[in-house]
Structure 1
Amino acid sequence: MERLAFSSSSQWYREGQQASFVRARKSSGGVLDLVEVARPAGDMSRPALPDIVLVEDMLGCRRVRGDLGGGRFDLTTRKGTLAVAAPNFATTVINDESHQLRSLAFPVAQWRSVLDEAADGRFPLDNFCIYGRVFNSPTVRSLLRNLWALGHEEGVPSRLLARAAGCEILAELCRLGGTPFTSAKGGLAPWAERRCLELLQARLSEDISLDALAAEARLSPFHFARMFKQSIGVPPRVYLTRLRVEKACDLLERTDLPVTQIALEVGYSSNQVLARVFTRHMRVTPSDYRRAVRDPVRSIPSQWPADLAPATAAPR
């Protein structure tokens, strides 16, 4: 094992001995680090890292031996098997065959206060009983899959998406580990709801963080995310995406701005990112949408669902 100090999982996968095995990497401002690796059989141990790392086995392996911080194991894994490696622990992992993994790292420096607030100061960071366990959780797998898909859609996960998704995943891991987070009581106060919706609208083009919204409501990020959903009906990241798509529609209808400029105006890094998000929600590209609202009789795509067609469209 290398005798180097690595400040994060992200740095380890960039510079460590397994860097050549990385197939995809998405990092969101140090809030979360997502990595996909395809590794050969053999010793895949790593030095201690200051992150809680959730790992999903994408293929399964006939035999895996090692220690992730919860005691030694020797077992067979299946596709979708999950495990959590403890922070500040030099893990040992030896595989009998090549395999593919996806990992999600929570830098402790970013998440310590969230964990303390969500668990009323009772989160056992050093001896969390889920460390080193191999387990199955459809909920965690679904959350991971959605996070990867949304990260691909946006290029990298926004800070709002990363923090909100991280809170959901950690909440489920803590439930499975016997340390459930305290539940939020009710939704946002009317003044807090109004202020947060105004802030989202005003900072649509920015990579606004969940922490900033939570601070406006005078809540922890974890409790804010749950209370926002209770009040609005959807998580903050979903609401923000809806606002951005609605604003993009408005600019496509009313202006001649290039699609690239519209993407920047609504908070996306490129026209390709806007196209992916817009098409998923509207089932039509931004350019086709603009043509349709400018000349609805001639330009409405035949595949456009009736419930999404612009109100200006004439009967066909």
Structure 2
Amino acid sequence: MACIARSMDRTQTREASANPADAIEIHEVDSQRAPVRLPDVGPAILVRHMLGPYLGEADVGAPGASRLLALRAGATLIEDLQLGSRLRMARPFHAIDVVIPWSVLDIIAIQAHAAPIEGLEASSGVDLADPTIEHLIGAMLAPLGEGFFSSRPYLAHLKLALATHVAHAYGRPRPHERLARGGLAPHLLRRAQQILQSNLQAGLSLVTLAKACGLSTRHFARAFQESAGVTPHQWMTTARITAAKAMMRQTALPLAQIADLCGFSDQSHLTRVFKREEGLPPASWRRDHRQTRESCRGVGGVIGAVGPN
């Protein structure tokens, strides 16, 4: 079970508060007819309701994490778009996609006099088997015969009902936390570190990271350093070194492959950064710290399980 965490800024809340239903986007997607393109609405979650069965590979959870999905017609999936997942499916599929901005969920919490939602608890790529979502989306499909989602007030009511159900059924209330002066709130710091850790190999721009936390780039960079004691780039470098150490200890992979898996441009880049941070080249460090061959295990899980102390 993965905790899908998030953040948002006040501007998004003001924009969504005018009419929350307008901020929720709903589309019929048929990959055989047209490419599937998710709207760019900032921090949001995707609710995908399958109109037909699906058996094939799909990218779920962390970017590049592909696995076989066997879904029934009527299955419902939830993915956090700001984590990098786009729920790309390798084979043709037919579904209804509902994109709910996090700002709408915040408004729902405010109107219910509830604590803001820190995140959603859901398993990536797993059918929720939620009859309420199935019935609501089924009701949304009723106007199809008269034109796709043609009844605007009716659809607006159903979209808000769906978002409210998602918030109440899967929302995780945020504990009360004080914002450190000049720094990030603890949940935002954890969120940023989680995103950095999940993107060691591919890397991540500061603009993207700040957007995922609902902050301006300048504010985020300053607040992250105030809270973590290092810049986001320095934090990621330390995380990459930590991941490389774990792989050198626990696998027999060559240094060039470890460099690539940990996000270094090549082996010489790994060597240069590692020697600067640790005082000796990685090959020497590996000789001193490598486990016996009998205790070595595969690379799976190494990158995701390690991070700076």
TM over 0.5: no
TM bracket, shorter-chain basis = 0.3 to 0.5
Query: Structure 2 length as normaliser, TM-score?
Result: 0.39
Query: Structure 1 length as normaliser, TM-score?
Result: 0.38
Structure with the bigger RCO (C-alpha within 8 Å, sep 6+) is: 2
